Amino acid sequence: MDTKVININSTEPEEELIQAAAALIRDGELVAFPTETVYGLGADGLNEDAVNKIFLSKGRPQDNPLILHVDSVDMLEQLVMEIPFAARLCIEKFWPGPLTILFRRREIVPDIVTAGLETVAIRMPSHPIALRLISLSGTPIAAPSANSSGKPSPTRAEHVLEDMDGKIPMIIDGGETGVGLESTVLDLTGDKPMILRPGGVTLEDVRMLLPNAIVDPALGPSNEDMVPKSPGQKYRHYAPKAQMILVSGENKKIVDEINRLTTEAVLKGMKVGIMCCTENKGSYSAHMVADMGSCVDKETIAHNLFHIIRDLDRTKVDLIICEAVGEDEIGLAIMNRLLKAAGGKLVKV
């Protein structure tokens, strides 16, 4: 299969170009497209055969549920049993945007989308291309990240092409994504509002509306025995080809430990890459030192994260050592992705 890459203006999308992509969605084909979080791999969310192509193209386990993307509350109402008051508050505040909400689903939603669960994850993206693609397709679009399962999520069209070339008919290149991490997933079907996956909408943001919101106690690097209610819960994700280790603690101790680990690895003949904040970049000497952004600007770190991991893989390092960040605000989401990428390998100093 030839994969066609089309460039579309991200602020004023060309209608005729999106029409071509929407025609593919309506025909049961796959289209990769930008959102404000990461690039998504989209299919008609009500077409079981089309959704199955997502799993086949990504190599994604069938028990890992998908997110449906909608362009309006009217479309949402067709998919869910009810919209609770708490959900309406969040929709008013955070939609369109990087918040996914779990609802009780209607029968119209295929089992393959929800992995057989009675809940469905839904969000309204804010990216103009994504919204117009949904609208012109006339259907909710099921879309996980547009990468091979387990690899770092794509924040540029070139990342999608690395993983999906020859597997899907079209990639929409709308430039680099904004947030750089997948959406927050919020479960409002239980006793308390619970964040199942942290993202661009933070726990602190949610608690401004829902003060009793909590983070899923099971949140961690991976748990092969769990039944996932949300994407990103069960399996190792975002992983580079290289081994990866996180180091957390007081800043000077982090720097000393990373230098120690680097020396140890180099003596074994390993090529080392380091991911660090701007303030510490001059403290390291390795084959590749990647600046994630200032330690006081976690939004920039989130934006850069997956691109840096892919860049380090391209340099063919054997080991990536990464500084941990504080888990306040979007730092919780950053650490969630880094722990998944490292398979839970965390050194505390």
What's the mean per-residue pLDDT of the chain? 94
4-215 CATH pick, 3.40.50.300, 3.30.70.360, 3.90.870.10, 3.30.110.70: 3.90.870.10
- In this structure, what is the dihedral angle of CA atoms 123, 106, 118, 22, given to the nearest 10 degrees? -40
Residue 237: name the closest of 305, 173, 156, 166 by CA: 305
- In the chain, the amino acid numbered 142 is A
Whether residue 331 contacts residue 228, with contact meaning beta carbons closer than 8 Å, is answered with no
Fold topology of 243-348: Rossmann fold (3.40.50)
Query: Which residue is listed with tokens 């979007």?
Result: 330
Q: What percent of the chain has pLDDT over 70?
A: 95
List the alpha helices (DSSP H) in the chain. Answer: 15-26, 48-58, 73-77, 85-94, 111-114, 128-137, 157-164, 203-209, 251-267, 298-314, 331-341
Distance CA 280, CA 298 (A): 15
Whether residue 306 contacts residue 154, with contact meaning beta carbons closer than 8 Å, is answered with yes
pLDDT at 153: 95
Distance CA 21, CA 244 (A): 37
pLDDT (tens digit per residue) in 238-272: 889 999 999 999 999 999 999 999 999 999 999 99
Whether residue 191 contacts residue 308, with contact meaning beta carbons closer than 8 Å, is answered with no
Domain boundaries, the chain: 4-215, 243-348
pLDDT (tens digit per residue) in 173-232: 999 999 999 999 999 999 999 999 999 999 999 999 999 999 999 886 555 555 556 565
Give the residue-averaged pLDDT of 298-317.
Answer: 96
pTM of the model: 0.93
Structure tokens at 197: 């996956």
pLDDT (tens digit per residue) in 38-79: 999 999 999 999 999 999 999 999 889 999 999 999 999 999
